[in-house]
A and B are shown apart, each in its own frame.
Chain A
Amino acid sequence: MQQLLPLVPIAIFFVLLLSIGYINAYRANRARHFKKEYFLGSQNLGGVVLAMTLVATYGSVSSFVSGPGVAWNLGLGWVVFAAPQIITAFLILGMLAKRMTILTSRLDSLTVIDLLYERFHSKAISIILALMLIVFFIAMIVGQFIGGAQIFAGLTGLDYSIGLVIFALVTVLYSSGGFRAVAITDTICAILMLTGMGLLGYVILKDGGGLSQVMDSIAQVNIDEKTGISRNLEFDAGGALPLSLLFSTWILVGFATMGLPQSLVRCMTYKNSHDLHKSMIIATVVCGALMIGMTMLGVLARAVITEMPKGGTDAIIPTLIASKMHPLIAGLTILGPLAATMSTVSSLLIAAASAVIRDLFKVFATTTTAATTAPASATAPANNAASAGNAAAASASADASEDNSETSLIQESTLIKLSYHEKIIIKGTTLFMGLIAIGLAIYPPDIVVWVNLFAFGGLESAFLWPVLLGLFWPRFNSTGVLCSIVAALGTYCFCMIYKVSILSCHAIVPGLLAGLIGALLGTYIGAKLRKQKLDARIHAIFFPHRPYQP
């Protein structure tokens, strides 16, 4: 009976998630614009849901298990390592969200890559980014499945494979209900993460004899001979965390998170600016509480778990849950890391599916569409506009008639009604990708585990400059984007594979520097040699407040 008790809250949680997935799948089926509802929740999320889904997507099994485990070992220095996440939530929302929403609405885009396609009109960029997104996301999903299933199986006593299949299948099934299902379940997951953190904090402080006694216990371990104080109380963990590494984490998990596509897509999903502002505050409160709170609990756990478990630092939090809690409370607490894992997976899965269905399909379908609709666009009388409008709008209209790919927008906007079978195909794609990830998690090939190590920084390297410069710098062209992606990703992977560390910085720093240099050089080459210039129509949409320079 004691073994079954932890399963009760988990079972209720799973049923709740599946119900939400089913209800929202039904709702998506009845929506007028199925794809917009399925991939963006019809851009209708409220402030609380937006904040929670952003935080829950960002907070993963690492935030709940691996990070606190390392903090148990290194002490408060690891909290300094995790601290940059206090700016993550408001930075991406404040800098990009309104602009992306306006552009998304105007261009009928559904994904980040979709938006970049409208900005650069380059199939090569769309294909490269979509493929990278799919590969990295699948690898990350597999990593999350493995981590989550180990916790699930370890604490419930189920066989690892069975635990993995149950846990992963529930995630995949409710994720296939669409973005709204993912966002609402994310909200529940974020609340459960906070609850789990609160319960863990209570147990640690109770078993450790209060905060003062816990801190006294930590002060006795891992003494630094030079200073005479515990390394666990030093900001650089007694030199284990070099200053340059700590600085570079402000790039890795702080400023560069603006390049994470799973976070970027959330910048396109809310209802209005009031909700956005509300979500910026809520997300900052929750994200900081979770990231700093969980890492700090890992530090404090040193007073309760005094010896390293057999499973290494990753086993600290599960051991704490299993050994110090009543089974029912343990079942409730374990929902925290499970929720963290499932919310991340669901967000990655729906984004990966959108990359397949929308980005790749759109790129490959555009040629046909443009060819068939070119005569229609050519008949548009552009001269009238040229005589009437201002310079930008007039030349924009004139160019629009010449630009065959423009018709893809119109075509797309007319194709909002989908048949039953098309909807099944879209949902089936999400489901199929999830099943592939489950299969890979059961029999994980080395390559997937290897790719997972590069995924987080790799996505930032590839997406940060195309998104930032693409939205803020009119001269940035497609050659610049390609050079930036190749330089950033190449440098990042090279530094990671060959353990090249420049001034002890994380590989993301040289990667992003190379990406910026590549972007500048590529833009210059594109403008001078390939005569690439920003189309007036695109300029009028993306940079209406800047003077157009033909």
Chain B
Amino acid sequence: MSSLSTPLNNTLPSPQRHAPNEQQESTSPLKQQPLQPQQAYACNQLSQDLYAQMFKQLDNEAFATLVTAILITMLFWLAIFLTSDCGVNFLHMPLWFVLSCLGGYILSVVGVIVLVKCFLKDMPLHPTSHASAENQELTLEQEQTTAQAQTQTTAADHTVIASATADPTTVAASVDPTALDTAAMATADIDTAATATAAATTVQPLDPTSAAPRH
């Protein structure tokens, strides 16, 4: 796959310091252009590759975090061993204490800032459909709309959607390529996921306001 060689920064949503919600960003391009069933498999593969790249990045971040913690620990003890016997005071306190404990505290704050700025990257953390809909409060009207949308779904589509989730917001979110991957996993059939996409594009116009995730 070509996406395997694509740098993570180019394939993942670019770091946005003021991006409050990742689900909205990830679904928006696909809302504009509904997927064809043939495209579903490609999206699934892309998603799986992206998913793997995310985990590579997570490994790097975990390693960088661990190294930062170990460095702080080593410098802490180095400060104690080098200065505990010198008998010098600083700010009316022993130098070893100022350097190790107070200096270690400042070092940890500086260390974590460097870690966050240089080694950690923003990435979408909720690849499934549920996360975007967890905290939504259902009004009676929405419940009715949901029931209406579900009853108008074809029997074949209904089987797929019901097996993935009964949550109506999933229908909209399943247009998201990352959600497609989940649908394929859950239903054990990539072709079925493609059908789910087709179903989603069919159902979505019925009531886009009720199906779109609220944030």
Q: What is the CB-to-nearest-CB distance from A366 to chain B, in angstroms, rounded to a whole number?
A: 17
Q: What is the CB-to-nearest-CB distance from A343 to chain B, in angstroms, rounded to a whole number?
A: 22
Whether, in the assembled complex, B9 has its beta carbon less than 8 Å from a beta carbon of chain A, the answer is: no
Question: Knowing A98-B125, A271-B20, A537-B185 touch, does A544 contact B135 (C-beta < 8 A)?
Answer: no
Bound-state CA distance A101–B58 (Å) is: 12
Pair A106/B128 contact, Cβ less than 8 Å: yes
Pair B125/A544 contact, Cβ less than 8 Å: no
Question: Knowing A398-B188, A400-B185 touch, does A272 contact B21 (C-beta < 8 A)?
Answer: yes
Whether, in the assembled complex, A195 has its beta carbon less than 8 Å from a beta carbon of chain B, the answer is: no
**A79 — nearest CB in chain B belongs to which residue?**
B101
Bound-state CA distance A94–B67 (Å) is: 11
B-contact bits for A392-407, CB 8 A (1 contact / 0 none): 1100111011000010
Question: Main SS of chain B's interface residues?
Answer: helix
For chain A, the count of residues having a C-beta within 8 Å of the partner chain is 85
Enumerate chain B residues within 8 angstroms of A84, measured Cβ to Cβ.
Answer: 73
Pair B167/A32 contact, Cβ less than 8 Å: yes
Bound-state CA distance A377–B189 (Å) is: 11
Q: What is the CB-to-nearest-CB distance from A77 to chain B, in angstroms, rounded to a whole number?
A: 10
Partner of A98, one of B91, B123, B188: B123
Pair A102/B185 contact, Cβ less than 8 Å: no
Q: What is the CB-to-nearest-CB distance from B155 to chain A, in angstroms, rounded to a whole number?
A: 14
Question: Knowing A76-B94, A95-B62 touch, does A101 contact B108 (C-beta < 8 A)?
Answer: no
A-contact bits for B179-194, CB 8 A (1 contact / 0 none): 0001011111111100
Pair A106/B182 contact, Cβ less than 8 Å: yes
Pair A273/B122 contact, Cβ less than 8 Å: yes
Pair B61/A98 contact, Cβ less than 8 Å: yes
- Interface segment out of the listed B29-37, B110-118, B202-210: B110-118
Whether, in the assembled complex, B136 has its beta carbon less than 8 Å from a beta carbon of chain A, the answer is: yes
Pair B59/A397 contact, Cβ less than 8 Å: no
Question: Knowing A105-B125, A292-B101, A543-B55 touch, does A31 contact B135 (C-beta < 8 A)?
Answer: yes
Pair A37/B134 contact, Cβ less than 8 Å: yes
Pair B188/A272 contact, Cβ less than 8 Å: no
Pair B115/A90 contact, Cβ less than 8 Å: yes
B-contact bits for A273-298, CB 8 A (1 contact / 0 none): 11011001100110011001000100
Q: What is the CB-to-nearest-CB distance from A362 to chain B, in angstroms, rounded to a whole number?
A: 17
**A377 — nearest CB in chain B belongs to which residue?**
B188
Pair B133/A544 contact, Cβ less than 8 Å: no
Question: Knowing A212-B92, A235-B96, A382-B189 touch, does A281 contact B44 (C-beta < 8 A)?
Answer: no
Pair B190/A388 contact, Cβ less than 8 Å: yes
Q: What is the CB-to-nearest-CB distance from B23 to chain A, in angstroms, rounded to a whole number?
A: 9
Enumerate chain B residues within 8 angstroms of A393, measured Cβ to Cβ.
Answer: 44, 48, 184, 190
Enumerate chain B residues within 8 angstroms of A234, measured Cβ to Cβ.
Answer: 84
Pair B188/A382 contact, Cβ less than 8 Å: yes
State which residues 256-277 of A face B: CB under 8 Å. Answer: 271-274, 276-277
Enumerate chain A residues within 8 angstroms of B136, measured Cβ to Cβ.
Answer: 31-32
Whether, in the assembled complex, A541 has its beta carbon less than 8 Å from a beta carbon of chain B, the answer is: yes
Pair B125/A292 contact, Cβ less than 8 Å: no
Question: Knowing A398-B188, A414-B165 touch, does A281 contact B116 (C-beta < 8 A)?
Answer: yes
Whether, in the assembled complex, A196 has its beta carbon less than 8 Å from a beta carbon of chain B, the answer is: no
**B76 — nearest CB in chain A belongs to which residue?**
A83
Enumerate chain B residues within 8 angstroms of A537, measured Cβ to Cβ.
Answer: 185
Enumerate chain A residues within 8 angstroms of B72, measured Cβ to Cβ.
Answer: 86-87
Whether, in the assembled complex, B137 has its beta carbon less than 8 Å from a beta carbon of chain A, the answer is: yes
Pair A284/B73 contact, Cβ less than 8 Å: no
B-contact bits for A438-475, CB 8 A (1 contact / 0 none): 00000000000000000000000000000000001000
Whether, in the assembled complex, A324 has its beta carbon less than 8 Å from a beta carbon of chain B, the answer is: no
Partner of A389, one of B66, B93, B190: B190
**A283 — nearest CB in chain B belongs to which residue?**
B112
**A234 — nearest CB in chain B belongs to which residue?**
B84
Whether, in the assembled complex, A36 has its beta carbon less than 8 Å from a beta carbon of chain B, the answer is: yes
Enumerate chain A residues within 8 angstroms of B188, measured Cβ to Cβ.
Answer: 377, 380-382, 385, 397-398, 400-401, 406
Pair B65/A36 contact, Cβ less than 8 Å: no
Whether, in the assembled complex, B166 has its beta carbon less than 8 Å from a beta carbon of chain A, the answer is: yes
Bound-state CA distance A458–B125 (Å) is: 31
Enumerate chain A residues within 8 angstroms of B84, measured Cβ to Cβ.
Answer: 234-235
Partner of B162, one of A80, A99, A406, A414: A414
Bound-state CA distance A393–B92 (Å) is: 64
Pair B55/A544 contact, Cβ less than 8 Å: yes
Pair B185/A79 contact, Cβ less than 8 Å: no
Pair A284/B109 contact, Cβ less than 8 Å: yes
Enumerate chain B residues within 8 angstroms of A281, measured Cβ to Cβ.
Answer: 109, 112-113, 116
Bound-state CA distance A390–B165 (Å) is: 25
Whether, in the assembled complex, B150 has its beta carbon less than 8 Å from a beta carbon of chain A, the answer is: no
A-contact bits for B48-60, CB 8 A (1 contact / 0 none): 1001111110110
**A389 — nearest CB in chain B belongs to which residue?**
B190
Whether, in the assembled complex, B163 has its beta carbon less than 8 Å from a beta carbon of chain A, the answer is: yes
Whether, in the assembled complex, A310 has its beta carbon less than 8 Å from a beta carbon of chain B, the answer is: no
Pair B55/A545 contact, Cβ less than 8 Å: yes
Q: What is the CB-to-nearest-CB distance from A519 to chain B, in angstroms, rounded to a whole number?
A: 18
State which residues 225-255 of A face B: CB under 8 Å. Answer: 229, 233-235, 250, 254-255
Bound-state CA distance A43–B23 (Å) is: 13
Pair B184/A397 contact, Cβ less than 8 Å: yes
Bound-state CA distance A229–B102 (Å) is: 21
State which residues 64-114 of B face A: CB under 8 Å. Answer: 64-66, 68-69, 72-73, 76, 80, 84, 87, 89, 91-94, 96-97, 100-102, 104-105, 108-109, 111-113
Whether, in the assembled complex, A166 has its beta carbon less than 8 Å from a beta carbon of chain B, the answer is: no
Enumerate chain A residues within 8 angstroms of B116, measured Cβ to Cβ.
Answer: 277, 280-281
Bound-state CA distance A49–B165 (Å) is: 30
Bound-state CA distance A376–B19 (Å) is: 40
Partner of B165, one of A91, A401, A413: A413
Enumerate chain A residues within 8 angstroms of B105, measured Cβ to Cβ.
Answer: 83, 86, 288-289, 292
Q: What is the CB-to-nearest-CB distance from A249 to chain B, in angstroms, rounded to a whole number?
A: 11
Whether, in the assembled complex, A533 has its beta carbon less than 8 Å from a beta carbon of chain B, the answer is: no
Bound-state CA distance A544–B178 (Å) is: 14
Whether, in the assembled complex, A175 has its beta carbon less than 8 Å from a beta carbon of chain B, the answer is: no
Bound-state CA distance A416–B21 (Å) is: 22
State which residues 471-485 of A face B: CB under 8 Å. Answer: 472
A-contact bits for B145-189, CB 8 A (1 contact / 0 none): 000000000000000001111110100000000000010111111
List the 9 closest A-B pairs by CB distance, nearest first: A94-B65, A42-B135, A42-B134, A380-B188, A544-B52, A86-B108, A400-B188, A545-B55, A545-B52
Chain A to chain B contacts (Cβ below 8 Å), 15 pairs: A30-B137, A31-B136, A32-B135, A90-B68, A91-B66, A106-B182, A211-B92, A272-B125, A273-B120, A273-B121, A277-B116, A381-B192, A393-B44, A413-B165, A544-B52
Extra A-B contacts (13), CB below 8 Å, given A272-B19, A416-B166: A32-B133, A43-B126, A80-B100, A86-B105, A86-B108, A90-B68, A94-B61, A94-B115, A212-B92, A229-B87, A281-B109, A392-B48, A545-B59
